[in-house]
Structure 1
Amino acid sequence: MTDPKLGFIGLGNMGGRMTRCITSKGIDVVGFDTSAPNIEAAGATAAASVADVVAQADVVFLSLPDSRVVEAVMRGPEGVIAHARPGQIVVDLSTAAPESTRALGVELAEAGAVYLDAGISGGAAAAEKGTLTLMVGGDAAALDAVRPHLAHFASNVFHMGAPGAGHTTKLLNNFLNAVALSATSEVMIAGKRAGLDMDALLGVLNTSSGVNFATLNRFPKIVHGDYLKGGLTNALMMKDVMLYTELIAGLGIAGVHASGPLASFGSAIAAGRAGDISNTVVDVLGALSGGIVVHDADQEDPR
């Protein structure tokens, strides 16, 4: 039995890194991206179109910015659904609205193919190393079939339940990420204004009850001028928080904590930093607080 052919649509910041994890092991991947250099950088074999990827691949991965783009790639005469065939598995690694995900899954099933929604966590660094965490919704048997391929770029894969459950989990996780980053930014700015040593403050936080992903993994670099470029941008973080608020509104959940990250990343976008890595939100909030910069004074501006 021959190994299934793999296809990848969307070889940007995250998709390109995940594809490179596969191709670096000598496995051929047929890829399509609107930027030809992205395909080459990922080591993929260039496809002429989305339809060309679907025609060649048995397992098709998607890594796209949002539901609007996912829907455009999935639907239409040259889209995935129109060219899908029975037995194919489509794994959507994007961050998307669960309602849209479920609808696309139903449409793809009419062609006999299976749609798995696979939220990812770990950022560019984990994608580079192949140690991402995946949260997957959809058919358990289909997930088992693609687990060997997911293992090339993910060290943790969780089956979360029915279609849409993966993308739902992703939004919940990303909201906590946004809260931690925006709140920790505020705390570090306050600590800087109070005259505290940034490394010492992080030492306290990381051995105390204030510890979180941002204190452990982001700010030890940020306070020395390394903003870890290549990760989620301010605009994408804002998009994820908005999707979260839509999700909990539909669930009837009281959303009392969204105002902080909405204001923080909204301010970053208003300041013209939509395309910068979301870690730079600390600079925006510092500017609003009188020009406070938490990283070493001799470091260059991260832009």
Structure 2
Amino acid sequence: MKDTIGFVGLGNMGRPMAERLIGAGHSPVVYDRSQAAMAELATAGAPTAATLEELAERVETIFLSLPTPEVVLAVGRAIAAAPGRAKRVVDLSTTGPKSEMELADILNGAGVALVDSPVSGGVAGARKGLLALMAAGPSAHFTVVEPLLAAFGKVIRIAEEPGKAQVMKLINNICSAASLAITSEAMVMGAKAGLDADVMVEVLNAGSGRTSASVDKIPRFVLPGSFDFGFAISLSLKDIRLCLDEAERLGVPMMVGNAVRMLFAVTKADFGPDADMTAVIRPLERWAGVEVRGRAAREA
């Protein structure tokens, strides 16, 4: 499949996924607005494209890993306008179902199919090939890209229609964000009561309070005080907003989800859009007058 795969977007998630394709023996043609990002992938063995249009002229399958629906749609329009070889686009981004269906219309109008395949698992999962991929798109095109997606992790087929995988991704993300929010609140409460943070995590993970936050995000990125999980609070808030917008469209109340959005919004306002999502505990710490840090932070 040399020179038949393209990859657009070499950020925190895109770069390790492109590297996974290279490690699996492929030579994805890469494009990013950052020349430095492309240069790093070129060093790893990936050919580069000077423009989106050039990339679309050289490859049949184009992967997208982009930060917002607006950027995804702009890239989709550029691909659709290019008189190239592209037969299908695989969108690994989180855009929400409305934007994804709009993207499908844009691409289909140019004879290009869309496979909607958002991912979950963070930067660490992308590096290790342990992501969960939710895929929705025409069966004929899904069959072509499924072996490629397998380089990133576990592929779960959701539906035939693009947009359905986005709904599943939003459901996953709101559950993940909610678990981080409530576990952060609980850890701050325990710290205020004088409990040891490492012991709290040990108990939660041995009992029914176990969540992805208590297993991974809190012990690895909060207790040491590093706050470097690798996903910006602005992107987390975008995903939460997309979920709540879709829930409203469907007529589903999201009372807990709205509370989660408030905490993430406060964190963004207090610490800036580039703050790590694990920083959601920091406003809670400030309000309570305590810090939740573990043994590693105390011994540093």
* Corresponding position: 1:46 with 2:48: yes
Partner of 1:241: 240
1:60 aligns with one of 45, 59, 62: 62
Partner of 1:189: 188
Structure 1, residues 246-267: CA drift from partner, whole Å, max 9, x if none? 0001111111112321121111
- Structure 2 segments unaligned to the other structure (5+ residues): none
Change beyond 3 A, Cα 1:65–1:144:
same
CA drift at 1:228: 6.0
* Corresponding position: 1:143 with 2:145: no
Give 3-state SS (helix, strand or coil) of 1:116's partner.
strand
Partner of 2:114: 115
Structure 1, residues 71-117: CA drift from partner, whole Å, max 9, x if none? 11111xxx011126577110001110211111221221122221011
Change beyond 3 A, Cα 1:198–1:297:
closer
Equivalent pair of 2:53/2:84 in contact (CA under 8 Å): no
Q: 1: CA distance between counterparts of 2:89 and 2:148?
A: 12
* TM-score, reference length from structure 2: 0.92
Equivalent pair of 2:9/2:64 in contact (CA under 8 Å): yes
* Corresponding position: 1:106 with 2:96: no
Structure 1, residues 248-293: CA drift from partner, whole Å, max 9, x if none? 0111111111232112111111113320210111122211222x21
Give 3-state SS (helix, strand or coil) of 1:91's partner.
strand
Q: 2: CA distance between counterparts of 1:297 and 1:198?
A: 8
Give 3-state SS (helix, strand or coil) of 1:124's partner.
helix
Structure 1, residues 191-242: CA drift from partner, whole Å, max 9, x if none? 1111111121112111222111101111122354154625221111111111
Q: 1: CA distance between counterparts of 2:178 and 2:171?
A: 11
Amino acid at match of 1:157: V
- Structure 1 segments unaligned to the other structure (5+ residues): none
Q: 2: CA distance between counterparts of 1:212 and 1:124?
A: 18
Give 3-state SS (helix, strand or coil) of 1:274's partner.
coil
Equivalent pair of 2:268/2:275 in contact (CA under 8 Å): no
Alignment map for 1:1-303 (pairs within 5 Å): 5-42=4-41, 43=44, 44-75=46-77, 79-83=78-82, 88-154=87-153, 156-161=154-159, 162-225=161-224, 227=226, 229=228, 231-290=230-289, 292-296=290-294, 299=297
Equivalent pair of 1:16/1:41 in contact (CA under 8 Å): no
Give 3-state SS (helix, strand or coil) of 2:111's partner.
coil
Give 3-state SS (helix, strand or coil) of 2:268's partner.
helix
Amino acid at match of 1:106: D
CA RMSD of aligned residues (A): 1.9
Q: 2: CA distance between counterparts of 1:115 and 1:168?
A: 16
Using the aligned pairs only, state the percent identity. Answer: 33
Change beyond 3 A, Cα 1:47–1:120:
same
Change beyond 3 A, Cα 1:226–1:286:
closer
Amino acid at match of 2:76: M
Number of aligned pairs? 294
Equivalent pair of 2:244/2:258 in contact (CA under 8 Å): no
